[in-house]
Amino acid sequence: MAGTSIDVAKPRLPPVLDPSFEPAVLYNRAFRAEVRRCGAGRRLAVAVEREGGQVARRDLEVLPADHPAAAANLRYVERLVKFLLWQRGGFRVMVSGAPEIAEALRRLYAPGGARAFDYTFWGETVFARPFTVETRASAEMPAEVAGAAAPLRTDWKGWRLGFDLGASDRKIAVVKDGGLALKPDGEPVLSAEFEWNPKVEKDPRWHYERIMETLRLGEQAVRALDPAGRVTAIGGSSAGIFIGGRPRV
């Protein structure tokens, strides 16, 4: 997809370790300038669908098919598709306005194609369904649909624990009545982190015991202030992709 005739400006400060680096922003500016210069840009739309009917859509202009630099269209659109997949996620890519670009994307995002990893990752691994690239008529293109985030409520009462599992440390905090629990002197009841290296530990019991050890510290901190106190909920976070409440990656 490289080697097009689009004249791209060089970075004003080229990186020493990668002097041939071409920032996407400079390529995009050059491409859009060429579309404006030719005066005959084609309207094209790209949409990426993910779970729950959510859709990310971008409307843009590309060069006419007979333009000397028409090969640059694929690079421009493919980079946008790749960005949307890794920004939003998705299992279906829809393209209108340039069937030859849709067909080229279908070959790239396929087993054995240059984007075979993306094809398998977003299809089988993340969404557990086939990854597809479809050619659509303009009237058939879906509109942007943003999923509603779960509402954040802080009006709950009582003691809770929040913990986080990272690659090099684990964290625990005691919260109460919708905020970080504080002692009479204003210091947190418990907000601490501990080093750990879970990657090299293959025994599930080791992970379970370390996590329970962390949660018990939170419970002990609650009981030290409120002997009758009871932890009513525990919230945990972990890196990865969760679809429908299930960890996929």
**CA distance linking residue 39 with residue 211, whole number of Å:** 62
Share the mean pLDDT of the chain: 93
pLDDT attached to residue 3? 43
Q: Is 41 helix (H, G, I), strand (E, B) or coil?
A: coil
Strand partners for 179? 176
Show the low-confidence residues of the chain (pLDDT under 70).
Answer: 1-4, 148-150
Whole-angstrom CA distances from 2 to 69, 171, 215 are 11, 45, 53
Q: Quick one: pLDDT at residue 148?
A: 67
Q: Considering the entire predicted model, what is its pTM?
A: 0.76
- On the CB side of 162, CA atoms within 13 Å amount to 13
Give the separation between CA 181 and CA 190, rounded to whole angstroms: 8
Secondary structure of residue 61 in the 3-state scheme: strand
Task: Give the tens place of pLDDT for each residue, 122-142.
Answer: 999 999 999 999 999 999 999
Sheet (strand 132-135) strand order = 55-62, 42-49, 92-96, 132-135
**Within 10 A of 141 (CB to CB), how many other CB atoms are there?**
18
Q: Which residue has the tokens 């630099």?
A: 69
Cβ neighbours around 4 below 10 Å, total: 21
Check residue 105 and give its pLDDT.
98
How many C-alpha atoms does 23 have within 13 Å on its Cβ side?
10
Residue 162: predicted pLDDT: 94
